[in-house]
Structure 1
Amino acid sequence: MSCLVWAGGDSAGSGGGGGRVSQKPITPTTLISASAGSGKTYQLAGRFLRVLLEPDPSGGRVDPTCVLATTFTRAAAGEILSRVLGWLARAVFDPEKRHQLGRVPGAKREPTAAECAEVLEAMTQRMHRLQIGTMDGIFAKVSRSFGPSVGLPSIWTIALPEKAAELAESAVDELLEGKAGLRIRQAWRKFKGKAPALGMKAQLMEEFEELRLELRGIVSDGAWEKDAGPLRLAEKEAERLRKFLAGFAPPKSRHWAGNMEKLQQMLVRPPRLVDLLDSSVLRRMALGERKFDKSDMPEPFVQHFFGVVESAKKEMIRLHHVRESALLALAVEYDRARSAQSYGSGSYTFREIEAAALRVAKGRKSDDLYFRLDGRIAHLLLDEFQDTSRGQFGFFDPLLQETVAKGGHVLVVGDRKQSIYGWRGSDPRLLREVEGLLPGVNREVLSESFRSSRAVLAAVDQAFEGLEMSALFHEKGKEKIALSHAAREWSEDYQKHRSAPQAASQSGKVVLYVRPGGSSDEVRAAVLAQVVERAKFHSEKEKGSLGILCRTHVLIPGILAGLKRCGVEASGEGGNPLTDSPAVEMILSMLTWLDHPGHSAGRYHVCAGGMAEVFGCAEVPACPPKEDPIGHEYIQRLRKEIVEKGLAEVLALWVRQKMWREFGTAHDQMRCAQLVEIARSFDEGGG
């Protein structure tokens, strides 16, 4: 279900519609719930053209460059622009297209051919200044305009993922050097509660590459540096509790005896205060409950442990404060080093550019922003709003409120079911909250799907209608509060689907398979087997091609390999990396070991992975001894061979061997061939 929020400003002129309001208040806003395939793009293009075709209060036309339209992908932005221009161009010659424009909600009348031609000419003349693009594109435009004033160099580019990873690695290398590195490790220990692991470098990048931008401006109070460590229970207190438990007779229910035994073991030596909350019964007491395992907690037990539990709660809060303090200190230091790398290289991620644009929006008046954008924004269209984050909304909120206040058109498009950017901080709840900014909202529903047959829509309704009643949101008869609340919110907005006549006539069926599985690997294996079985049956019994849509790229290689084993020809799309092949991963481990002879993980993968004979290192021990002449000699020999023959030729010799071909699947062979071609390009480029 998509939500189209439309705020239309009608002027007091004879033609009505479009620009700013003088005396009359704006018309009520409309919330349109549009099911999937119900003509969202048609609605967007029609309402966009409505703004341009109706005269503004002065009697002229709205400047096309005053309409800001954003979406999340360049493909979607291109589709909107193509639909707008195509519809308008056809309307110049086709009366039916003009009639359709006259039926767009809110349109005063049907436009003439001359009016369509006039608007088309205005759009094509200003094509280079039209503001139809992605949110990232808008943020980049703003950031380029304000560059040095928000800490960006005068010239910069968007960093590809590989470049961003390289910059992050360089930043961490700088952080961990010398005395400053010791401080970072100490902060990490306070943050994680344990000593830094061997993979601290990768963990720092994973934790803070995105988080640093969210935490900018929040300063650590330094509590982590003053912390002497977790507090322990006093010996006297531990002794007092041990004596009490020795004579305590717990209720005769299943879990009391086990919990008392655990407490006695915990108190043999004074434990950390916070560790006491690992006990289920003490954790219940900390939450203010006085029942455990369907029995009342005995009063003597409560009296003896109440003070200790309160101290444990305070200690837990204190440790969380220390952890938060260390987290903020790490974020500040990582951001400093990482930002310096971006500035020095002139390469920035989209998230960094977004952060710069948000700083612009917070610190400047709209007139200044419009000047830098090379045009005033009088009308606003925001597509895929369910994928907007709180920070991004902070950029558009002032524009939204100003546009509505001045009588401009505002269109917000969203669908909670299609919110897929949670990893970027998207918050679909903004769809509800934005209604509060638009006065007098009227609700309409577009429930007809022009895309899907009745069978498909019935299956969707079966799965998602009444979601809050699902057993997934209950455990042992008790409601999972957070999940049930989310399911209820979902159900409140859910609209039952129905097919438009032209889609309803389509044949087809939907079968939902449910398979048990105790782990993600078991579920994945069950899905793979079921898909291969159904596809094989289709190829033998049915006519026509078959499409298989996977939720993630991870499933694609396994399905392709399974189909090829069954003799079913199949091709895959989805941009999977070469490393989706175990064979390629082993070769990369070989090259890593070759480049870094001390890389024990790469060496072990190669020597203990069953293919050591292929690589010519069958005599090399998988775990390096203190003296390693065999390993050293092998590395030197292989390096010399690559210098003489080239990397591609050496790789080709490996992957052509019979043992290697029998080891891998057809998918592995394809990926290895691609790796050889990449190596050949590397050799030809001078290595």
Structure 2
Amino acid sequence: MKNFLIYRSSAGSGKTFTLVKEYLKLVLNDPGEFKNVLAVTFTNKSAAEMKQRIISALKALSSGSDENLKKLLVSEGVKGDIKFNAEQVLNNILHKYSYFSVSTIDSFFHRVIRSFARELKLQLGYNIELDQLAVLDKITDKLLDDAGIDEELTGFLEDYIYYSIDDEKGWKIENKIRELGKEIFSERFLLKTDGSGLQNSRLELKDFISILFAIKNDFESKMMEISLESQEITDSYSLTIDDFPYKEKGFMNYLLNNIRDNKFEPGKRAQEAAEDIKKWYNKNSKPAVKAAAENGLFAMLSKAVGLYDKEFTKYNTAINLVKTIYVTGIFRDLIEKLKEYRDENNVLLISDINNLLLSVITGDGSPFVYEKIGSYYRNFLIDEFQDTSTFQWRNFFPLIENSLGEGNGSMIVGDLKQSIYRWRNGNMKLLLEDVKNSLSGFESILKEDDLKVNYRSKKLIVNFNNSFF
């Protein structure tokens, strides 16, 4: 394999078979080559299945019981005595099983991290913590326990509680902190900041919050003033909502009721009535309705709709920022509590591994990584690539780039329709465009193919799947 192969597949189209086939092509041409091939997938179950299928295929080839597979491999360039070489590969795997590198992505990265524990100043005997949400619960509780000790933090949390009560969300803020606090584990957060962007003092944040509340209160008071003045005009003509077109479903309900309930968006009828005074009355309307419209109500509605069009976007932005800014103000504290938790419990989170590994691989380069882990890989086969994250690809890329630069090949295979791990930062864009952009210097060996034949599903299911996606 001298190319970088990108296979796009769908369920039942044989992506695991394709990966196993490429693995066999590599090792059957040189039985000792199995030590230099790394095949990775996303779950332990998939890794175990891949191992089993490789071993089963080698057994079938060594016994001569699968002529179809043998013919396929020969047609794709495998030379020599396939039966003999398959037996040799099996013996090599049996006697040097630790070099049979088929695993999950996380397992491989964890192996590299353990090799660099000294350089990364990791304590001996550290453990990997998989349940990040459980850790978030613990550090959130610890943060709230500090209320009353840290005066600045206490004041900030009190302001948050008062805001939450005013916003009718209740006084318990733990769930909101936990929900937004998940962001500290996300690759978006880790890629964009090392924490330096969180050094703004809470006093600065309080000043910003004051500005946001000023925007909020100014818009609401202006709209309320319009509604109250409209009510005065309506009362002065002894009219009610029922006297106007569409009654409680019309524009007067928006003007007198919706605005007071902070429902500021005008409907179609309100927008039309704000532009055309003739929408206010008809031949059956009371004379007072026309008079009220001409003497202030039409102007009030036009003013309300105009104010909405001009200022609501800024108002809505301020509202949404206020909902999150209090938690943003304690992100720094959450990160500090997370550091304390790591040190006290001697653990690394699963999200830490990719971040640490990025610094190792980009800093020391592929040769040093191979020296530390005691293996050298010429070829990389990555399954379920649609669930690979940006960090994981960045960590793999220097190794793959080094391999391609030495004239070796690698492959990835994935199915965009089965991208189910976005919650763990799986990035479908990698399969669509990012990989090709990364390999811009290797266009001549970049090969793409679609596995179009579905060997598992009935025609009806395939057609539905294709039309749906």
- TM-score w.r.t. the length of structure 2 is 0.73
Q: Which residue in 2 is equivalent to 1:367?
A: 367
Deviation at 1:151, TM superposition (A): 6.0
**Partner Cα separation in structure 1 for residue 13 and residue 400 of structure 2:** 26
**Partner Cα separation in structure 1 for residue 54 and residue 78 of structure 2:** 19
Q: Which residue in 2 is equivalent to 1:334?
A: 334
Q: Which residue in 2 is equivalent to 1:135?
A: 105
Instruction: Please tell me whether residue 357 in structure 1 is matched to residue 357 in structure 2.
Output: yes
Deviation at 1:50, TM superposition (A): 0.9
Instruction: Please tell me whether residue 173 in structure 1 is matched to residue 141 in structure 2.
Output: yes
Contact 1:67 1:380 in 2 (8 A): yes
Instruction: Please tell me whether residue 298 in structure 1 is matched to residue 270 in structure 2.
Output: no
Deviation at 1:322, TM superposition (A): 5.1
Q: Which residue in 2 is equivalent to 1:182?
A: 154
Alpha-carbon spacing, 1:149–1:76, altered in 2? closer, same or farther (3 Å): same
Deviation at 1:99, TM superposition (A): 5.8
Matches for 1:434-453 after TM superposition, within 5 Å: 434-437=435-438, 439=443, 440-449=446-455, 451-452=456-457
Contact 1:385 1:413 in 2 (8 A): yes
Alpha-carbon spacing, 1:159–1:352, altered in 2? closer, same or farther (3 Å): same
Q: Among residues 178, 181, 188, which one is paired with 1:208 in the alignment?
A: 181
Contact 2:140 2:174 in 1 (8 A): yes
Contact 1:33 1:444 in 2 (8 A): yes
Deviation per residue, 1:393-431 (Å, 9 max, x gap)? 332233344434443222212122322223223233322
Instruction: Please tell me whether residue 119 in structure 1 is matched to residue 60 in structure 2.
Output: no
Deviation at 1:212, TM superposition (A): 3.7
Deviation per residue, 1:599-618 (Å, 9 max, x gap)? xxxxxxxxxxxxxxxxxxxx
**Partner Cα separation in structure 1 for residue 255 and residue 149 of structure 2:** 42
Q: Which residue in 2 is equivalent to 1:262?
A: 254
Q: Which residue in 2 is equivalent to 1:422?
A: 422
Normalized per residue, the structure richer in helix is 2
Contact 1:103 1:110 in 2 (8 A): no
Q: What is the root-mean-square deviation in Å for CA atoms of aligned residues?
A: 4.0
Q: Among residues 37, 45, 56, which one is paired with 1:75 in the alignment?
A: 45
Alpha-carbon spacing, 1:188–1:380, altered in 2? closer, same or farther (3 Å): farther
Contact 1:191 1:324 in 2 (8 A): no
Q: Which residue in 2 is equivalent to 1:49?
A: 24
Q: Among residues 175, 182, 206, which one is paired with 1:225 in the alignment?
A: 206
Alpha-carbon spacing, 1:198–1:294, altered in 2? closer, same or farther (3 Å): closer
Deviation at 1:326, TM superposition (A): 3.5
**Partner Cα separation in structure 2 for residue 133 and residue 307 of structure 1:** 60
Contact 2:161 2:173 in 1 (8 A): no
Deviation at 1:92, TM superposition (A): 3.0
Q: Which residue in 1 is equivalent to 2:265?
A: 280
**Partner Cα separation in structure 2 for residue 150 and residue 190 of structure 1:** 43
**Partner Cα separation in structure 2 for residue 122 and residue 260 of structure 1:** 84
Deviation per residue, 1:358-400 (Å, 9 max, x gap)? 4434544233333333223321111111222233233223334
Alpha-carbon spacing, 1:31–1:375, altered in 2? closer, same or farther (3 Å): closer
SS in structure 1 opposite 2:375?
coil
SS in structure 1 opposite 2:420?
coil
SS in structure 2 opposite 1:411?
strand
Contact 2:160 2:326 in 1 (8 A): yes
* Letter of the structure 1 residue corresponding to residue 264 of structure 2: S
Contact 1:102 1:109 in 2 (8 A): no
**Partner Cα separation in structure 1 for residue 65 and residue 223 of structure 2:** 90
Alpha-carbon spacing, 1:331–1:101, altered in 2? closer, same or farther (3 Å): farther
**Partner Cα separation in structure 1 for residue 36 and residue 329 of structure 2:** 43
Alpha-carbon spacing, 1:104–1:297, altered in 2? closer, same or farther (3 Å): farther
**Partner Cα separation in structure 1 for residue 73 and residue 5 of structure 2:** 16
**Partner Cα separation in structure 2 for residue 187 and residue 169 of structure 1:** 22
Contact 2:62 2:86 in 1 (8 A): yes
Alpha-carbon spacing, 1:353–1:210, altered in 2? closer, same or farther (3 Å): farther
Alpha-carbon spacing, 1:365–1:141, altered in 2? closer, same or farther (3 Å): same
Contact 2:185 2:351 in 1 (8 A): no
Deviation at 1:100, TM superposition (A): 1.7
Deviation per residue, 1:60-87 (Å, 9 max, x gap)? x664232221111222212212222332
**Partner Cα separation in structure 1 for residue 15 and residue 100 of structure 2:** 21
**Partner Cα separation in structure 2 for residue 213 and residue 190 of structure 1:** 29
Deviation at 1:298, TM superposition (A): 0.7
Deviation per residue, 1:520-570 (Å, 9 max, x gap)? xxxxxxxxxxxxxxxxxxxxxxxxxxxxxxxxxxxxxxxxxxxxxxxxxxx
Number of equivalenced pairs: 415
Matches for 1:96-115 after TM superposition, within 5 Å: 96=66, 100=70, 103=73, 106-109=76-79, 111-115=81-85
Contact 1:51 1:409 in 2 (8 A): no
Alpha-carbon spacing, 1:239–1:157, altered in 2? closer, same or farther (3 Å): closer
**Partner Cα separation in structure 2 for residue 97 and residue 111 of structure 1:** 13
* Letter of the structure 1 residue corresponding to residue 206 of structure 2: E
* Letter of the structure 1 residue corresponding to residue 253 of structure 2: E
**Partner Cα separation in structure 2 for residue 401 and residue 292 of structure 1:** 61
Contact 2:9 2:414 in 1 (8 A): no
Q: Which residue in 1 is equivalent to 2:12?
A: 37
**Partner Cα separation in structure 2 for residue 380 and residue 255 of structure 1:** 70
Contact 1:242 1:264 in 2 (8 A): yes
Alpha-carbon spacing, 1:424–1:333, altered in 2? closer, same or farther (3 Å): same
Q: Which residue in 1 is equivalent to 2:284?
A: none
Deviation per residue, 1:99-143 (Å, 9 max, x gap)? 626536742435444433443344334321332111121221122
Instruction: Please tell me whether residue 64 in structure 1 is matched to residue 64 in structure 2.
Output: no
Alpha-carbon spacing, 1:266–1:88, altered in 2? closer, same or farther (3 Å): closer
- TM-score w.r.t. the length of structure 1 is 0.52
**Partner Cα separation in structure 1 for residue 393 and residue 465 of structure 2:** 28
